[in-house]
Homo-oligomer: A and B are copies of this chain.
Amino acid sequence: MAKLTAKQLERIARALAEPRRVALLKQIGARTAATPCAALLEVHDVTPATLSHHLKELEAAGLVESVRAGKCMNVTLKRDVLRAYLDQLARI
C-alpha cells in the first residue's frame, strides 16, 4: 500500500488546495475508465496550457497517472494515494 513521505504529503496537500484541481480530480474519478484530456477541457473553462499545468501538478503529487494514446492523453485517478493521504490526516 502507498506509504507517503513528508514531501509527498505536502505536495498532495498543495495540489488539493486549488479548487480547480479538486474539480478535475472529481471528474477523473467519476468513471473507472481513463479520462481523455479533451473531456476535461470541455468541462473546465481554462486554456489547454492551464489544464496541462494542473495535470502536471496532480501527477507530481501522485494523485493521477497519465498515459498517452496517440494524440490523446488519458488520465486516471490513483485512489490508493488519495486514500493514503486521507489516512494520514485522519491520524491527527
Contacts and interface: CB of A to CB of B under 8 A. Distances in A.
A19 interface: yes
Contacts of A18: 13
Oligomeric state, in number of copies? 2
Contact of A25 (B10, B86, B92): B92
A72 interface: no
* Chain A contact residues: helix, strand, loop or mixed: helix
A40 interface: no
Interface in A38-92: 77, 82-83, 86, 89-90, 92
14 contacts: A10-B19, A13-B13, A13-B22, A14-B17, A16-B16, A16-B17, A16-B89, A17-B17, A22-B92, A25-B92, A77-B92, A82-B92, A83-B90, A86-B86
